[in-house]
Structure 1
Amino acid sequence: MPLPTFSSLGSGPLVLLLHGSGGGFRSFAPQVETLASLGWRAVAWDMPGYGYSPPIEPYTFKGLAERWIALIEALAPARGAAAVVGQGMGGLLAQEVALRRPDRVGRLVLAATAAALEPDDAYARHIAQCQEALAAGTDPERIAQELVARLSGPQALPEGLQLARYCQAQVRAATWRRALAAMQDFDRRAALAHIGVPTLLVAGEHDPVTPPAVLRAMAAAIRGSSLVELPGVGHWPHLEAPDAFDRALLDFLRGTQPAHWH
């Protein structure tokens, strides 16, 4: 089984960063730099089919989780656990791997994500819009421009939005189509109570796809979890407000994150 491609920086405890359906390893560039400078080994992968990572068929969360497990076993062969940070679809996958392999997940960060996609909820409508743009053959650059404008908050860092647009525009249409289809069937609501590792949830105040209420409901279902709501930002809190996101992340990794800080 060929390993997914990834970038790695720093040395120390392992933090694995999982991008969303419109991302890539560069999506977590601010966090990789921050974590590496402060004593962690930050690893940002390209999900299968993204960048140079080999695709998988069928494109399912089970298959994605298997590739994640193969990567963590290669990076931490002595059965070590990693902190796992996931945004958007990466947050869905982070839930999947935490439930499938709790021995490999030491801490869990779920940003701008959900436990399920329900018919006609905001996330499902977002995916339908993306699928319509793909079916219409819309130029990837135009998709990126429109999507980032629609999902970002009023106080987003311009440089962060520029990176979000770049990453989205690089995603191959065939891969994005499969990723979006896989997301439509995701439902881990009943399993949230079985997540037994320290968990931080991060919501963007103006996220129209996974609004704070969605993350609050997840936090209520995950025992002992913490919730941070970042003001002025949308669906990419790690890029729209990287300093605030990093503060919350670092506090959590160090074990000092207060519960339900808003």
Structure 2
Amino acid sequence: MPAAERHLTMVYVEPIGTGASGRLPAHPHGYTRERYARALDGVIDHLGAGPVHLLGHSHGGFVAQHYALTRPDRLAGVILYGSAPVTGPEHFAEAARTMEAFARRNAGRPELKGVLDTWQSLGGLSDDEGTTRAARGILPAYLADYWDHRERYAPLFSITGTFVSGLDDQGVPDLIDDRAALPSIKTPALVIAGRHDVICGPRWANELAAGIPGAELVTLERSGHLGHVEEPDAFTRAVTSFALATAG
């Protein structure tokens, strides 16, 4: 998020199990929100920082919600970006509906069949190689206007993925439904959504903003799931304004 770096000190965290961060002994299992939260504790301790602003994108938003619920004293503010208050069947059903709408909007586009085939394959992923292929294959659906700006978005296809199972150490799915708990979040909150996000779109952003007392909602009208790339100026304005206003 280089545009935000002009205004804020940005610290990027590669979640445990991904990138250059270490893997758990039970990999690909055990990556629960509480385990991610404990890793965040270590990062904040290492930085020696006071209360911080925590921005969580996509699955990172689920972790950020959990952090705001369990460690509010460590936060000056929380930014839930392209996220949702719930996972599991209800979330998947909404994603299936928005993917169908995406397919209708882009009927006849090159590569559409490959995107839809990738979507159907997501439940069968089992290794890093397949996860990387899927991350690249689904990418056009995660952008509001991919086919109008293919050259601009071409560098995104260098993305790599790490397979994690979504199961805890005992093999139990780490399903999420924070809706009943959202009113107890007292940390200042900003919710950001892309109007055309197929996986964590406006429905979920509205539920998050309605559930968290005093939360601010920003909808990026020309974005999908990657608004910081699609509308970097609008995204940066929202994040910067919120962070400065809640810096204490």
Q: TM-score range by the shorter chain?
A: 0.7 to 0.9
Which of 18, 27, 49 is the matching residue for 1:50? 18
Relative to structure 1, is the Cα distance of residues 183 and 208 closer, same or farther in structure 2, using a 3 angstrom cutoff? Answer: farther
Q: Does 1:89 align with 2:59?
A: yes
Q: Does 1:70 align with 2:42?
A: yes
- Partners of 2:63 and 2:152 lie apart in 1 by 23
- 1:204-215 aligned at under 5 Å gives the runs 204-215=194-205
- Partners of 1:234 and 1:183 lie apart in 2 by 27
Deviations, residues 75-105 of structure 1 (Å, cap 9, x unaligned)? 126xx11001111001000011111110111
- Partner SS state of residue 207, structure 1: coil
Relative to structure 1, is the Cα distance of residues 200 and 251 closer, same or farther in structure 2, using a 3 angstrom cutoff? Answer: same
Which ranges in structure 1 are unaligned for 5 or more consecutive residues?
1-30, 257-262
- Partner SS state of residue 11, structure 2: strand
- 1:1-262 aligned at under 5 Å gives the runs 31=1, 33-38=2-7, 40-56=8-24, 57=26, 58-76=30-48, 80-122=50-92, 129=120, 131-135=122-126, 139=130, 142-154=133-145, 161-167=153-159, 170-173=160-163, 175=164, 177-178=165-166, 185-255=175-245
Which ranges in structure 2 are unaligned for 5 or more consecutive residues?
97-117
Deviations, residues 138-197 of structure 1 (Å, cap 9, x unaligned)? 755542332111222127865774454323xx2233x3x348998861221111111111
- Partners of 2:84 and 2:242 lie apart in 1 by 20
Relative to structure 1, is the Cα distance of residues 125 and 200 closer, same or farther in structure 2, using a 3 angstrom cutoff? Answer: closer
- Partner SS state of residue 191, structure 2: strand
| Contact kept in structure 2, 1:83 and 1:106, CA below 8 Å | yes
Relative to structure 1, is the Cα distance of residues 214 and 223 closer, same or farther in structure 2, using a 3 angstrom cutoff? Answer: same
Q: Structure 1 length as normaliser, TM-score?
A: 0.72
- Partner SS state of residue 181, structure 2: helix
| Contact kept in structure 2, 1:114 and 1:215, CA below 8 Å | yes
Size of the alignment, in residue pairs?
Answer: 218
Percent of aligned positions that are identical: 28
- Partners of 1:220 and 1:138 lie apart in 2 by 39
- Tell me how far 1:230 sits from its aligned partner: 0.5
Answer 1 or 2: higher relative contact order, Cα 8 Å, separation at least 6. Answer: 2
RMSD (Å) for aligned C-alpha atoms: 3.1
4+ residue segments displaced more than 4 Å: 123-130, 135-141, 155-160, 178-184
